[in-house]
Every structure is written in structure tokens, then in C-alpha cells.
């Protein structure tokens, strides 16, 4: 498992690609068009409002395409990973798609 850097993550700088905001909202709040967990969805919105949203441009799209091919990632996952790489940031995640990629600090969902 990759080692996380020794950075202090009590107040991390949040960089979110635009696709992540949509993905978080859809995965958290909607099933068949109905809000399932409004409180959880509102927490996600509050957190993402504190982040810097990184718009998709040609350079980022090409980097994501390269990462998708290199690591067999979905388009959405490749955009998330490429955004961290593009910003020179460590990707903090509990999504196991990223668990063994360089520059990723993976936190298991089972670990408490």
C-alpha cells in the first residue's frame, strides 16, 4: 500500500475537478431520481464549496486520457487522478480504484 506523505491534513487544500462534484452528488443523494440521504448530500455540498474547482481544459483532458490508458481507469477516475497530478497534489481517497497508484494516499473504508 502506498505511503502517505507527512503533510498535515487537518486543513487540506481541496482541489476538485468539475466531474467529481457531479459524481459525489449523484452517488450520495440520488437513486432513481429521489433524494435518499439529504443530510449526507448537504455535507458533501458544504465541503465542496470550500474547495477550488478545477475546470476541464485540453491539457487536463489529454493528461486524463493518458492516465486512463496507463492505469486502466474509467474516464471519471482518470479525470480525478489527473487533476491531482496536474496540481502537484497528493490524492486523498478511500476509493480502491486508486489504492496502488503513485501520488495517492489511500484510506480504507473499513479502517476506523
Q: Is 9 contained in some domain? A: no
User: Mean pLDDT over all residues of the chain?
Assistant: 77
* Beta bridge pairs of residue 54: 17
Q: What distance in Å separates the CA atoms of residue 5 and residue 73, rounded to the nearest whole number?
A: 23
Q: How confident is the model at residue 21 (pLDDT cuts 50, 70, 90)?
A: low
> Structure pTM?
0.70
Q: What is the model's pLDDT at position 42?
A: 74
CB 84 within 8 A of CB 15: yes
Q: Is 86 contained in some domain? A: yes
Q: What distance in Å separates the CA atoms of residue 55 and residue 87, rounded to the nearest whole number?
A: 12
Q: Is 39 contained in some domain? A: yes
CATH of the domain at 19: 3.40.50.1010
Q: What is the mean pLDDT of residues 52-56?
A: 82
Give the total number of structural domains in the chain.
1
Q: 47: phi > 0 → left, psi -120 to 50 → alpha, else beta; which?
A: alpha
Q: Which domain holds residue 29?
A: 15-106
Q: Is 8 contained in some domain? A: no
Residue 35, C-beta contacts closer than 8 angstroms, at least 6 positions apart: 29, 41
Amino acid at each position: 500500500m502506498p505511503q502517505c506523505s507527512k503533510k498535515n491534513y487537518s486543513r487540506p487544500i481541496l482541489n476538485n475537478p468539475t466531474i467529481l462534484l457531479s459524481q459525489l452528488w449523484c452517488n450520495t443523494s440520488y437513486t432513481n431520481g429521489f433524494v435518499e440521504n439529504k443530510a449526507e448530500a448537504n455535507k458533501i455540498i458544504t465541503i465542496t464549496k470550500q474547495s477550488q474547482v478545477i475546470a476541464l481544459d485540453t491539457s487536463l483532458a489529454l493528461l486524463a486520457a493518458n492516465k486512463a490508458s496507463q492505469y486502466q481507469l474509467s474516464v471519471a477516475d482518470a479525470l480525478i487522478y489527473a487533476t491531482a497530478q496536474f496540481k502537484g497534489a497528493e490524492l486523498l481517497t478511500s476509493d480502491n480504484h486508486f489504492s496502488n497508484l503513485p501520488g495517492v494516499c489511500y484510506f480504507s473504508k473499513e479502517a476506523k
